Copies of this chain bind each other. A is one copy, B any other.
Amino acid sequence: MSPALFDDLETPSALVDIDRMVANLDRMAAYAAAHDLALRPHVKTHKTPELALEQLRRGAAGLTCATALEAEVMAEVAGDLLVAYPPVDPRRIERLLALEAGVRLTVGLDSPEALRDLARAAARAGRTVGVLVELDAGMRRVGVPDPDAAVALAREAATSPGVEYRGIMFYPGHIRDRVEMQDAALAALSDRLGLFLDALGRAGLAPRVVSGGSTPAGWASHRIEGMTEIRPGTYIFNDRTTAAVGACAWDDCAYSVLATVVSTAVPGQAVVDAGAKALAREEIRGVDAPGLGALLDRPDVVLKTMSEEHGILDLSGTTWKPRVGERVRIVPNHVCVSVNLHDTLWGVRGEDVVTSWDVAARGH
């Protein structure tokens, strides 16, 4: 840690406001505890073992990973990992089975092919891997589409050597309304989940784990009958999308990209040195929030477009007149894909840079 002030950092750099992050971590931990839900944070957002440790210290039951590398990196700080991603491919299975024997490993999957390959390899490795049957809760991305398929897969998991049936999981990524408009979507999700739970119960396969919850829908998990666990990721930092749907306040955004104004030559706009290779291009869907990011201290100043190394700030609605060389902090629409573009996160308090972390699980 040599740099001590923003002025010492190059741009673009990824900043984490430590006090805001701590408040975000505490808030979700308190929510989960209050509703008796296991909290299993998804590490895809930060990919940083030191930050996973902060989640575990606050009572997280374990961690959620998407990639083999995330699992390998997080196995150094956590004894209980869920890989919430179909473990298809012999090389992926091999890496997961090579995790230290003390790690309690569970994977989510939605096909007999994935289950059989995993079970065979686990049995051969003398290991027992937990299985959550993933179901499609309405997002239409992955997950078995109906209760019969869930029962069939759960039964096969329950009776195959090498694996252990532990329950079900889903990802409610289709719930993109503002939080106060989510009642109908949550009721539909509850109803749909109920059909799966009934069918599994009748088959003698009642799930011990019922795992769900993105960050925006996570806060409503207590309203969904039967859930035992949530896997929010974004909540540690939040982002412009989380704020736009009302799942956090703007001042809860803990992550920003420090950038320098490099050009004001074209009237009505200012160009900063953070574009798609520092912020990532992601539009906000579901609610009306145009633009690709906004200034932390001036959320009305929006990135109207970007290219690889250029972000274009729209100055049409502000009296602010940025100078060439001035520094700004930008909150991206989607923090997870922005963090993934950086090798280092700088922990800041006010304008002091107090620590840094390697994004150790970036890449594949």
Contacts and interface: CB of A to CB of B under 8 A. Distances in A.
A267 to B, nearest CB: 7
Nearest to A140: B266
Interface string A252-275: 000000001111111101010100
A259 to B, nearest CB: 10
A287 to B, nearest CB: 18
B265 A276 contact: no
Given A44-B308, A343-B363, A363-B343, A262 B85 contact: yes
Contact of A142 (B91, B141, B266): B266
A340 B309 CA distance: 12
A66 B309 contact: yes
Given A260-B89, A337-B277, A111 B265 contact: yes
Contacts of A309: 44, 66-67, 85
Interface stretch (A52-60, A242-250, A278-286, A348-356): A278-286
B145 A265 contact: yes
A128 interface: no
Contacts of A202: none
Counting chain B CB atoms within 10 Å of each CB, which of A140, A264, A308 scores highest? A308
Contacts of A273: 85, 88-89
A324 interface: yes
A142 B310 contact: yes
Contact of A271 (B141, B261, B323): B141
A269 B262 CA distance: 43
A170 B359 CA distance: 36
Chain A residues touching B, majority SS? loop
A229 interface: no
A277 B136 contact: no
A364 B265 contact: no
Contacts of A264: 111
Contacts of A266: 136, 140-143, 145
A136 B268 CA distance: 14
A111 B326 CA distance: 14
Nearest to A363: B343
B263 A86 contact: yes
A52 B307 CA distance: 22
Contacts of A276: 280, 282, 337
Interface in A124-158: 134, 136, 140-145, 149
Interface of A: 9-13, 44, 66-68, 85-86, 88-89, 91-92, 110-111, 113-114, 117, 134, 136, 140-145, 149, 173, 260-267, 269, 271, 273, 276-278, 280-282, 307-310, 312, 323-325, 336-337, 340-343, 363-364
20 contacts: A10-B91, A11-B91, A66-B309, A85-B273, A88-B273, A89-B260, A89-B262, A111-B263, A111-B324, A113-B325, A136-B266, A141-B266, A141-B307, A141-B310, A141-B312, A143-B263, A145-B267, A280-B280, A281-B337, A342-B364
